[in-house]
Structure 1
């Protein structure tokens, strides 16, 4: 399938569902099964077999006893689709408009950090998948590649930038300016990760990728951050140096490999270790308040989208402070154990917003039918995370593309079978 063929779906009524189904079944005639499993549980199991224990814990794990992650999935099961019959759905339109751009489907690649743990091509592979499909990629602050490299791989495909609000204002200013320079169409401020949640699976393998300089390429490529690193490296540490271990040596090599420059030079330099220590100091701020949004508005004219809203009262405050969009999200269950399922939070936020700004949805989407339910409950579009990371781990760019293509195909077929021919027709009265 060519890139142009997929992008043409923005303006033509091609059935994505039948096309993808037909391709899989035709291949089956010759004995070929999908390399990337279609069934969500099989996809997850295949990815777990492929990934390292550390990578699997980081990508698949959630907070505490995983209660919130399970609540996200259970919330979808409580809503049932009620199909309507004898409706002309021969031609269907899955496109949607967001911030002035018409997208071929209401699906976005959610911001996911440390993608090098899933595949060596990391954001480069995801950008290729997003470009082929014409779907937006939300570039993570915790990227394995500088945002400029990801943008180059995206070509003219839409991209948003996810901002973790650093403790250092110069770093924030620099990130926002760089995001504008690469053509970002929105700034997505993640609110719910000003500290890391109690992630038991990561803790049990005692592995924090950032401590090895994985997933901090946005920082080490940033001039404002580099100034902080250089100043820190000039200040001798007063902490005693522990006796080295094999694991510690591997971590130091990882830091040197990830820091810009020559590996052997970096191994003799204090800068890579200083970069990790600086990152851990300035990663995010717990002192942010609603009033700080005004300073972000001064920094950029891009739409500001708040990700992590769960309470209608916060949605009201978001409107009061002039934001341009909301993502209802609990970070895939990775932050607060025992929190409300994200889909359960969606209707209250949608009601409060009342159409004044777009409400997007994130956390727990595993299928096109899930996406349909979120759209029926008022979401304008959905962000998909873990599933395409599993595809990335299995088959790189082709794997990430295939997973999103499968979601898109199922969404299209669910629309047809439910009696709707456009995304705008998906409404709450189609759910029991």
Structure 2
């Protein structure tokens, strides 16, 4: 396909011609030009999710910031997660009544009601950003009625995190599991259930440690992980160890999504671990497009979630249009947690507003009825 080759060539040339910026230049440095290193920007003057990273980067010790920021190898996948959203534009509609779109943000995730179609996904070691650790994430999720999925590698223990939950708050528990140690697995499952978790989010895209060179410079990597044998037989076995639903996080192909449906997985979670495991892996947006093109029935056979590179309301809208039910966000909320509960709460509120604004400006009257026609996701090149 000649036009595909040309477009890829042009794309690679464009990316090579300029440096990649973690934070887009929307005036943060100019506006906060008098901000000293180690000083936090005023919370009420932050206007979007990228501002929280910009603020945290200038405030945290470099090793702490690097722990959150790092990606695998040359970090192509990390960069692609962010930039891919602009290779698949929206197709805005006009002459549509969008006056009530804000009221359509609420959704259900595994049957539980939440106020928005995005959630705080698992990210480890919140204590590196704030001495109160995961407390800010739990409390903000409760205040804004969105899902929080604590990491197994959180600074606080599962019971400690649960102690900060609101009485009716719904959380899921992320887990890394060792197929050779059912005793340890059962302990995680039992602790999660005792803490009131409503589901297990089993991360399957990390069968070995990630090649994280940026993190290694600052000794900011996790402990060395063994190579593991995560298989479909093992997933079927896990279902005998708990009555909690077990979601699979890290699905990266249409074939895996179809296999998940065949094995009765209650939800498929598209993720490449934030680009932290294997460099060269595709973004979850690209995986969602592959599923939409080759097996669109997956989106109705099971719930589909996705994370990776989401920074704007428009990013959320695109994933929803493709069929994703709920969108996970990790790093931005970890940066917001530098400000504690108030920071995470403000980040959630800003993103809710953006999702509604971007949906309205794309001509979406009801987010529950959005469809793939709102995104240019198909390749329309003729064969030579």
When normalised by structure 2's length, the TM-score is: 0.82
Q: How much does 1:284 deviate?
A: 6.1
Match of 1:50 in 2: 59
Q: 1:284 to 1:87 in 2, by over 3 A?
A: farther
Counterpart selection for 1:130 from 132, 136, 141: 141
Deviates more, 1:422-431 or 1:374-383: 422-431
CA contact (8 A) 2:202 2:246 kept: yes
8 Å contact from structure 1 (residues 55, 117) kept in 2: yes
2:88 maps to 1:146: no
Instruction: Answer yes or no: is 1:371 the counterpart of 2:382.
Output: no
Q: SS of the counterpart of 1:401?
A: helix
- Report the equivalent of 2:214: 201
8 Å CA contact 1:310–1:349 kept in 2: the answer is no
**Equivalent residues in 2 for 1:7-406, closer than 5 Å:** 34-35=43-44, 37-92=46-101, 93-155=104-166, 156-166=168-178, 167-208=180-221, 210=223, 286-350=228-292, 351-352=294-295, 353-393=298-338, 395-406=339-350
Whether the 8 Å CA contact 1:65–1:337 is kept in 2: the answer is: yes
Q: How far has the Cα of 1:56 moved from its partner?
A: 1.1
In 2, are the aligned partners of 1:106 and 1:381 still within 8 Å (CA)? yes
Tell me, yes or no, if the aligned pair for 1:347 and 1:378 is still in contact at 8 Å. no
CA distance in structure 1 between the partners assigned to 2:52 and 2:340 by the alignment: 14
Distance 1:386 1:343 in 2: 17
How many angstroms apart in 1 are the aligned matches of 2:165 and 2:365? Answer: 30
Distance in structure 1 (CA, Å) of the matches to 2:227 and 2:176: 9
CA deviation map 1:196-245 (0-9, x unaligned):
211011111133465xxxxxxxxxxxxxxxxxxxxxxxxxxxxxxxxxxx
Gaps of 5+ in 2: 1-40, 377-384
User: Displacement, 1:358?
Assistant: 0.5
Q: CA deviation at 1:400?
A: 1.3
Q: How many residue pairs were aligned?
A: 329
Are the equivalent residues in 2 in contact too, given 1:83–1:430 (CA < 8 A)? yes
1:411 deviation in Å? 0.2
Q: Secondary structure at the match of 1:62?
A: coil
Distance 1:83 1:372 in 2: 11
Larger Rg over CA atoms: 1
Structure 1 consecutive aligned stretches of length 4 or more whose deviation exceeds 4 Å: none
Counterpart of 2:351 (choices 407, 426, 429) is 407
The question of whether the paired residues in 2 share the 8 Å contact of 1:388 and 1:401 is answered with no
**Aligned with 1:388: secondary structure?**
helix
Cα deviation, 1:46-72, whole Å, max 9, x if unaligned, reads 110111111111101100111001111
Structure 1 contact 359–378 (Cα < 8 Å) conserved: yes
Distance in 1 separating the partners of 2:45 and 2:248: 33
Distance 2:91 2:258 in 1: 31
* Runs of 5+ unmatched residues, structure 1: 1-31, 211-279
CA RMSD of superposed structures (Å):
1.8
C-alpha distance in 1 between matches for 2:106 and 2:276? 30
Structure 1: distance between partners of 2:123 and 2:187: 21
Which shows bigger deviation, 349-358 or 174-183? 349-358
Q: Deviations over 1:360-410 (max 9, x none)?
A: 0111101111111111111101001111111112x1111111112111110
SS at match of 2:202: strand
- Compared CA separation, residues 79 and 168, structure 1 to 2 (3 A): same
Q: What is the distance in 2 between the residues matched to 1:189 and 1:423?
A: 28
Residue 421 of structure 1 and its aligned partner are, at CA, apart by 3.0
What SS does the aligned partner of 1:122 have?
Answer: coil
